[in-house]
Chains A and B, each alone.
Chain A
Amino acid sequence: MADFTSSLYNMRLMDELACKDTFVHKLHPLIKILTTIAYLFVVVSYDRHEIIGLLPMLFYPVVVFFLAELPIKQVLARLLLIEPFIIAIGILNPFFDSQVIIVGGFAISRGWITFASILLKSLFTITAALILICTTGMDKLAAGLRMLKVPRLFVLQLLLTYRYISVLIEEVSRSIRAYKLRAPQQKGIHPSVWGTLVGQLLLRTIDRAERVYQAMFVRGFTGEYYTGADTWVTLRDVAYFGGWLSFFILARMVNIPLMIGLLISGVIS
C-alpha cells in the first residue's frame, strides 16, 4: 500500500509535465485527442502477426516525447507496472500457436511473433495515452471533451473526481497509516476492520460531498456547468493532425521497413 504515495506522486508529475510550454503543449486539446485516437485505431488494426510493418508507428511517440521534452525514464516507468497482465496473457501465445516459421534463418514458434506483437502494441498504445495527458493536462482535456460534445454533467463530474482524488488519497492513507501503526505485523487490513475503517472513510466522504455541494450551491450552482469560451482550432493544429494522420495511414498501408530493407539490400547486392 505504498501505492498511495507513488500514485499521488505520479499524478502530480503528470500535472506538472502538462504545464510545460512546448509546441506540442500549445496545440489545441481537441487535436491531440483526435490524433491519439487515430494513432490507437491504426496501431490496434494491425494483424496479430505483424511486427515489422508495425515498427514505423514508433515514430509518433518518439517524436512527441522529444518535442514535448518529456522525461523518458519517469513516464515509461509506468509501463513496467502495467506489463505484467499483458505479459501473462501474451506469454501463453507461444504455447498455443506452435506453428513454426522461419524468421531471418531461425525457426521459432509463431506464437512468439504474436507475443512480440502484443508487447509492441501495448508499448505504443499505453505510451500514446500517457503522452496525451502529459501534454494536455486534465483541465484542457476536459475542454476538449466538451468540444466533442461530451455532456457537461459528465465532464464536471470527471473534473470533480480528479480534483478530489488527491484529497481522498491523503485521507485514506492517513487512516491506513494510523491502522498500521497499531497493527505492524499485518500486510493489509484485517477483515475485522473492513467494515469500520472503510465505512468511516465512506461516511466522511459523503459529508465532504455535502459540504462541496453547499459550497457550489451558495455560489449559484443549479446543475448547469458554465465554462469560459472555447478556444479555436488553428491552421497549425489542423496541419499537425493531418500530417500525423497521413503518416499513420501510409505506415499502415505500406510496409515501410520492408521497403527500406529492400532498398538497402538492393543497393548492397
Chain B
Amino acid sequence: MSHHKLETKTINYVYPDGNKAVKDISFTIHHGESVGIVGANGAGKSTLLMLLMGVLFPSSGEVLVGDIHVTKKTLPLIRQRLGMVFQDPDDQLFMSTVYDDVAFGPRNYRYDEKEVESRVFQALEMVGILHLKDRPPFKLSGGEKRAAAIASVLSMQPDVLIMDEPTASLDPRSRRRVINLLNCFEHTKIITSHDLDMILDISRRVIVIKDGEIAADGESAEILADAELLDQCGLEVPISLQRCPKCGERFLTGRS
C-alpha cells in the first residue's frame, strides 16, 4: 500500500537565522500506523511537522508522501492526503461559524455545496459536535474547539492525520474524549505531544527527537519506559509508568 506511506530521507532544515532545527532525519511511516513524536521544547518537533506538511521545505533531503515528492507543485495533491491540526485551535478556527470552518477545506477544492455539506456533517459527527455547527468559535469550550479543529481537517478526508499537541490545555474529561476519538480513527496518525501518557495510550511507535536529530525510534512501551534515554532528551517517564502497578512504589530509575 505504497500510496499511504510517508517517508523522509535525510532531511535537513536551517532557519534563516542560522538555527539548525532538523538534522539528517530519516524515517518511514506506514499506512495505519500511529506514531508519537516526542522531545523537549525546541527539539525540532514542530519544524518537522511543517516539513511533512509542505509548509516548510527542507534545505536538503526529501519528503515523500506515497511516492510523491513534496514540492511546491505537488502541494495541492499532498494537501488532500495530509491533514494537520495545529496546537492552538483559535488559529485554526478562523471563520465565524463552526460549519464554515469545517467547510473551508472542501470549498477550496471546489466541491459542490451538496458534497461539502455531506463532508461537513460527516466530520462533525465523527467528533461528536454536530449540534454545534452554527456556533461561533468564541462560544466553544476548549474541548469543543479542539474537536472543531479536528473536524475542520477531517472534512478533507485525508489519509494521514498530523497533530501538534492535541491535548494541550484540555481538562481531564475533554482530554479523555480526544484520546478516545483518536483511538477510533483508522487514519495514519502522527502526533507530537508532551503528554507522554497519551502517547502511550494512542501510539504503538514513538520517535524521540533531541536537538533536531532522532534519538530513538521504536515501540512506545519500550522507549517510554527507558528513564535514562528520556532523561537525556529532556523528558521523563510517563506518570503511568512511574509507579509499580502492583505495590504502587515509585521507581527511581529504569523499570523494575
Contact = CB atoms under 8 A, between A and B. Distances in A.
B92 interface: yes
Interface in A213-261: 214-222, 224, 226-229
Contacts of B123: none
Contacts of B185: none
B97 interface: yes
A100 interface: no
B107 A227 contact: yes
A218 B91 contact: no
State which size class the interface on B falls in: 20 to 34
Interface stretch (B109-117, B167-175, B192-200, B239-247): B109-117
B94 interface: yes
B103 A215 contact: no
Given A211-B86, A211-B91, A228-B103, A219 B96 contact: no
Contacts of B110: 226
B90 interface: yes
Contacts of B108: 219-222, 224, 226
A222 B55 CA distance: 13
B107 A208 contact: no
B110 to A, nearest CB: 7
B142 interface: no
A69 interface: no
B53 interface: yes
Nearest to A215: B92
Contact of B91 (A208, A220, A224): A208
A218 B70 CA distance: 13
Interface string B112-127: 0100100000000000
A164 B103 CA distance: 19
B213 interface: no
Which of A164, A220, A228: most chain B Cβ within 10 A?
A: A220
Contacts of B107: 226-228
Interface in B105-156: 105, 107-110, 113, 116, 136-138, 152-153, 156
Contacts of B53: 218
A162 interface: yes
A211 B244 CA distance: 42
Given A163-B137, A222-B108, A229-B113, A215 B79 contact: no
A114 to B, nearest CB: 41
A219 B95 contact: no
A83 interface: no
A214 B152 contact: no
Interface string A137-181: 011001000000000000000011011101100000000000000
B79 A216 contact: no
A139 B113 contact: no
Nearest to A224: B108
A224 B153 CA distance: 19
A212 interface: yes
A215 B94 contact: yes
A220 B94 CA distance: 14
Given A227-B107, A228-B107, A159 B153 contact: no
B94 A160 contact: yes
A12 to B, nearest CB: 8
A126 B82 CA distance: 48
A221 B108 CA distance: 6
A227 B116 CA distance: 10
Contacts of A166: 138
B65 interface: no
A188 B95 CA distance: 33
Contacts of A226: 107-108, 110
A21 to B, nearest CB: 12
A159 B55 CA distance: 24
Contact of B96 (A139, A167, A214, A229): A139
A228 B116 contact: yes
Contacts of A12: 138
Given A211-B88, A229-B113, A216 B136 contact: no
Contacts of A214: 50, 55, 86, 91
Nearest to B96: A139
Given A139-B100, A218-B84, 9 more contacts: A138-B96, A167-B90, A212-B91, A219-B152, A219-B153, A220-B108, A220-B109, A221-B104, A229-B113
9 contacts: A139-B97, A159-B95, A160-B94, A166-B138, A211-B86, A218-B84, A219-B153, A220-B108, A221-B104
